[in-house]
């Protein structure tokens, strides 16, 4: 893509994710919220965190495009490095994991991850914007331009660190409220929950490797923006 076209695309994607993040954080709930909902608000849900992650990523991408357009190449190089690291380690793996895990669990038993009562609170279009559209957006980003992936060890360490932070956040919320962020977790014994978290981390790592594979297959090893 031409830089001007990329800038337009990244700007529109940023506005889209900002709008979705704003919409989900301003959903009106008639019933009084439980202690679980009050503690940490919606920042406990990976889906919501991913929306803000994507907004940040596309904002950084738009900034990189603008800097290239105005020939601020030294600044652009630094921003592009941040953009590529953000996309490879977080934006693509998390979006892919959110979409795959949500719809897999939803198909198996939606009450475990998205109770039917939420249908009257969250519009259908917003549900698909949060859980479906994120994956095609991630794929489109790979098709739009090449991204430089970090060394495999570095990338996986950063990804694992962020995953452990989120797991720690979920466990902390349970220790304070006595309720799990997702009803699914209540079905597991401590050892079963540890195995579930380990399996989830393995899936996220597969998502990372999948993104790296697609980037290499489409763009090769040498072509980078």
Please give the pLDDT value at position 224. 44
CA triplet 185, 102, 104: central angle to 5 degrees?
A: 95
Cβ atoms 62, 11 nearer than 8 A? yes
In sign, the C-alpha dihedral spanning 12, 15, 21, 22 is negative
**pTM across the whole model:** 0.91
What is the tens place of the pLDDT at every residue in 38-94?
677 788 999 999 999 999 999 999 999 999 988 877 888 999 999 999 999 999 999
**How does pLDDT run across 111-121, given as a tens digit for each residue?**
888 888 888 88
């Amino acid at each position: 893509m031409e830089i001007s076209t990329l800038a337009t695309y990244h700007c529109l994607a940023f506005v889209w994710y900002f709008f979705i993040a704003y919409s989900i954080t301003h959903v009106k709930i008639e019933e009084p919220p439980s202690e679980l909902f009050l503690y940490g608000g919606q920042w406990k849900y990976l889906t919501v965190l991913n929306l803000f992650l994507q907004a940040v990523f596309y904002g950084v991408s738009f900034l990189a495009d603008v800097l290239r357009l105005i020939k601020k190449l030294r600044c652009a190089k630094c921003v592009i490095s941040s953009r590529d690291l953000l996309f490879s380690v977080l934006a693509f793996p998390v979006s892919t994991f959110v979409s795959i895990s949500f719809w897999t669990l939803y198909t198996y038993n939606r009450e475990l991850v998205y109770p039917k009562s939420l249908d009257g609170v969250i519009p259908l279009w917003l549900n698909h914007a949060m859980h479906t559209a994120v994956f095609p957006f991630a794929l489109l980003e790979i098709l739009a331009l090449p991204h430089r992936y970090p060394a495999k060890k570095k990338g996986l360490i950063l990804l694992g660190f962020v995953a452990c932070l989120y797991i720690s956040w979920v466990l902390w919320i349970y220790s304070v409220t006595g309720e799990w962020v997702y009803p699914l977790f209540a079905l597991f014994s401590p050892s079963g929950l540890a195995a579930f978290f380990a399996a989830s981390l393995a899936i996220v790592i597969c998502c990372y490797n999948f993104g790296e594979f697609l980037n290499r297959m489409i763009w090769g090893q040498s072509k980078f923006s």
